[in-house]
A and B are shown apart, each in its own frame.
Chain A
Amino acid sequence: MAADSASSDLDSARRARLADALVRTGHGDRSAFEAVYRATSAKLFGVCLRIFPDRNEAEEALQDAYLTIWNKAASFESGRASPISWLVAVTRNRAIDRLRARGKAGMTSLDEAAEIADPAPLADAQLLASGENHVLHGCIEALERRDANFIRSAFIGGATYADLAAREGEPLGTVKSRIRRALIKLRGCMEGAS
């Protein structure tokens, strides 16, 4: 506990600062918005690059995401969600909307998605993330290959149930119950590992 306290204090201080800046952004404070941008743009650019491997498209998606964040910041409730997971969710959803608008969502099988070449990762952030990464990837690999693929196709490729059912030539209900079972299994695996 004592050994960890310094770094966890730092984390919670950083988180509180970010939450505060996000709330002030919701009040129309542009300097707070810039602080949010400085603290999170590398991470959110990483999210965009996962969804749009093309750098130009990812840059456009990132700009779009921050404009959405500016517009939606007033709906951020600091008691309910951590600022970073809220920001990642807004960015991911906005990028997927763009993907869908271009008719590109859910079209490709994303077996290789996990292996997408890392876009110039920053070394220390990568190290920090690797622990959680390891658990999630281990638990996804423990699923049936097809279920793992469904989950990636949805989260990174924007596939909906309807897309997956059409792609697999299976009834919607079958695909739904497969994925729901896989989600329960995934959660059980991750809870067990932590």
Chain B
Amino acid sequence: MTILSEEDIALAGEYVLGLLDAAGDASATARIATDAMFAAEVEAWRVRLAPMLSGDANVPAHIWGNIQNALPEQTGQDVGSGKLLFWRSLTGISVSAAAILGILLLQKPDAAAPPAPEVPLIAALGSETGEASLTASYEAGTGRMIVTPVSLDTGELYPELWIIPADGTPHSLGIVASDKATTMTVPLESRQYMGSGGTLAITPELQTGGPGGKPTGPVIASGKITTL
């Protein structure tokens, strides 16, 4: 059994304290959904820090009435309606997924009349230091992927994107832009790796990419692919 590194333990604490910027927060939220050990450390920090917020207080009686009045009108088809449940669960999805969905909708000019959409795969790529972060969304049907940098600086070098499946071997998906969204079509031979659970990662490389199709630079941002 592996244990969480000190960096990850501190990251979980930073997340609970609310210290991370929006991108760092989104990437930690995505990680909670995919990494049970990290999720457990987040829960442990919530329990550890909870006494700072403790101290019960008597609530004025009118508050419950106000809350009830502010609830949406009852439609009579709430409970057990599968479709509604789906949308309710969407309203509860993590900030990261919601933010990525927002980006997706902004990027698709034809999104005004949404057809029955295929469920996209998404990933929030981040680093422990929060210095580099990106989001990616992928449609398996078309192989289309949009990679959007939130903050990304590779200096003289170029950010190369990799897909790393369970066996740990990185496969290059090419260089992406560091200052604007990159839309790409994932090559047919790499699509087999683009499933839920694979990891996307960025390393700084020469403009021609890592020699021999292998990364040479350190991973400056990474994130697991997950279903929206």
A residues adjacent to B (C-beta < 8 A): 26-30, 34, 37, 41-43, 45-47, 49-50, 59, 62-63, 66-67, 70-76, 80-82, 85, 88-89, 92-93, 96, 114, 118-122, 125-126, 129, 132-133, 135-137, 151-152, 154-156, 158-162, 164, 176, 179-180, 183-184, 186-187, 190
Q: Which residues of the other chain, B, contact A42 by a CB distance below 8 angstroms?
A: 56-59
Interface footprint category on B: 35 or more
Let me know if B168 is at the binding interface, CB within 8 A.
no
B50-94 residues with Cβ-Cβ distance < 8 A to A are 50-60, 63-64, 66-67, 70-71, 74, 78-80, 84-85, 88-89, 91-94
Q: A75-B94, A161-B20, A183-B10 are in contact. List 10 more A-B contacts (CB 8 A).
A: A34-B64, A71-B88, A72-B91, A88-B50, A126-B56, A154-B17, A154-B19, A161-B21, A184-B9, A186-B13
Q: Look across to chain A and name the residue whose beta carbon is closest to the beta carbon of B80.
A: A27
Question: How many angstroms from the CA of A123 to the CA of B66 in the assembled complex?
Answer: 27
How far does the Cβ of A163 sit from chain B's closest Cβ, in whole Å? 9
Interface flags, B22-66, vs A, CB<8A=1, else 0: 000000000000001001000101111111111111111001101
How far does the Cβ of A3 sit from chain B's closest Cβ, in whole Å? 23
How far does the Cβ of B98 sit from chain A's closest Cβ, in whole Å? 11
Question: How many angstroms from the CA of A160 to the CA of B156 in the assembled complex?
Answer: 30
How far does the Cβ of A40 sit from chain B's closest Cβ, in whole Å? 10
Q: Look across to chain A and name the residue whose beta carbon is closest to the beta carbon of B84.
A: A28
How far does the Cβ of B31 sit from chain A's closest Cβ, in whole Å? 13
B48 adjacent to A190 (CB under 8 Å): yes
CB within 8 Å for A37 and B67 given contacts A50-B52, A71-B92: yes
Let me know if B16 is at the binding interface, CB within 8 A.
yes
Q: Which residues of the other chain, B, contact A159 by a CB distance below 8 angstroms?
A: 19
B56 adjacent to A74 (CB under 8 Å): no
B43 adjacent to A183 (CB under 8 Å): no
Let me know if B139 is at the binding interface, CB within 8 A.
no
CB within 8 Å for A85 and B46 given contacts A46-B56, A50-B52, A160-B21: yes
B residues adjacent to A (C-beta < 8 A): 6-7, 9-10, 13-14, 16-21, 36, 39, 43, 45-60, 63-64, 66-67, 70-71, 74, 78-80, 84-85, 88-89, 91-94, 129-130
How far does the Cβ of A170 sit from chain B's closest Cβ, in whole Å? 14
B56 adjacent to A122 (CB under 8 Å): yes
The 5 lowest CB-CB distance pairs between A and B, nearest first, are A75-B92, A28-B78, A183-B13, A125-B56, A180-B10
Q: Which residues of the other chain, B, contact A152 by a CB distance below 8 angstroms?
A: 52
CB within 8 Å for A73 and B92 given contacts A46-B57, A62-B59, A119-B55: yes
B56 adjacent to A155 (CB under 8 Å): no
Q: Which residues of the other chain, B, contact A180 by a CB distance below 8 angstroms?
A: 7, 10, 13-14
A183 adjacent to B89 (CB under 8 Å): no
How far does the Cβ of B178 sit from chain A's closest Cβ, in whole Å? 20
Q: Which residues of the other chain, A, contact B63 by a CB distance below 8 angstroms?
A: 41, 59, 62-63
B56 adjacent to A28 (CB under 8 Å): no
Question: How many angstroms from the CA of A118 to the CA of B58 in the assembled complex?
Answer: 12
CB within 8 Å for A49 and B9 given contacts A37-B64, A74-B89, A74-B92: no
Q: Can you list 19 residue pairs at the A/B interface with Cβ under 8 Å? A: A26-B92, A29-B78, A46-B54, A46-B56, A62-B59, A63-B67, A72-B91, A74-B89, A81-B46, A121-B57, A132-B51, A136-B48, A154-B18, A155-B16, A155-B18, A162-B21, A184-B6, A186-B48, A187-B45
